[in-house]
């Protein structure tokens, strides 16, 4: 009797395992999540800042179509990025307390407005609330000759801290972060 019970349990586990491994993964996100952190060296576990964001791709579309000039943009794809500061910093010269914030931008021809907002878990910029802004920083809109197909965020060492660098197509924007 014990042998039949053990055999039935094993058969049931095999059926469940087969069902679990046969799941449909056709809905994988076309704009995958990515993360950037500073310090950028993976051997340094004590980070100052980390950002998690979606990476949209141009795929034959213009940047203006996906991130219109003069309109609040979620700064990536899907949910608005969440940026976590593990200590108090100056973000573009503005004092920002340690914590997690949503990141929005307003693309412009000559400068971008980069926004830290205290409301988290926001899909897109549909529910963006300016009254919840913690900091707004205007930074010059730069360019590079090498276009980026995927929207990208990275940190670059700078005197007194780092620059949060955003790039897409030939546009480059950098926000200084000092500690």
* Higher-scoring residue by pLDDT: 2, 61: 61
- What's the pLDDT score for residue 87? 97
Q: What value does the mean pLDDT of the chain take?
A: 90
pLDDT band at 20, cuts 50/70/90?
Answer: low
Question: What average pLDDT does this structure show over 102-129?
Answer: 95
pLDDT band at 112, cuts 50/70/90?
Answer: very high
Is 88 a residue whose pLDDT tops 60?
yes
Answer yes or no: are the C-beta atoms of 73 and 168 closer than 8 Å. Answer: no
- What's the pLDDT score for residue 30? 78
- What's the pLDDT score for residue 6? 67
- Give the separation between CA 15 and CA 6, rounded to whole angstroms: 14
Q: Please, which contacts does 24-29 make with residues 24 or more away whose CB atoms are closer than 8 Å?
A: 29/54, 29/78
The residues spanned by each domain of the chain are 25-178
Closest by CA to 37, choosing from 102, 85, 91, 100, is: 85
pLDDT band at 11, cuts 50/70/90?
Answer: low
The one-character DSSP state at 17 is H
pLDDT band at 18, cuts 50/70/90?
Answer: low
């Amino acid at each position: 009797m014990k042998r039949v019970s053990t055999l039935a349990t094993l058969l049931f586990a095999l059926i469940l395992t087969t069902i679990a491994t046969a799941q449909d993964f056709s809905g994988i996100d076309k704009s995958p999540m990515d993360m950037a952190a500073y310090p950028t060296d993976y051997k340094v576990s004590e980070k100052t800042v980390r950002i998690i964001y979606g990476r949209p791709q141009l795929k034959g579309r213009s940047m203006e179509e996906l991130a219109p000039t003069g309109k609040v943009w979620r700064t990536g794809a899907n949910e608005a990025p969440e940026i976590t500061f593990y200590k108090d910093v100056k973000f573009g010269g503005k004092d920002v307390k340690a914590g997690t914030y949503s990141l929005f931008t307003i693309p412009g021809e000559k400068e971008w407005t980069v926004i830290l907002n205290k409301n988290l878990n926001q899909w897109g910029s549909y529910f963006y609330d300016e009254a919840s802004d913690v900091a707004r920083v205007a930074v010059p809109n730069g360019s590079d000759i090498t276009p980026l197909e995927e929207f990208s965020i990275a940190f670059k060492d700078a005197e007194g801290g780092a620059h949060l660098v955003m790039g897409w197509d030939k546009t480059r924007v950098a926000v200084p972060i000092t500690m």
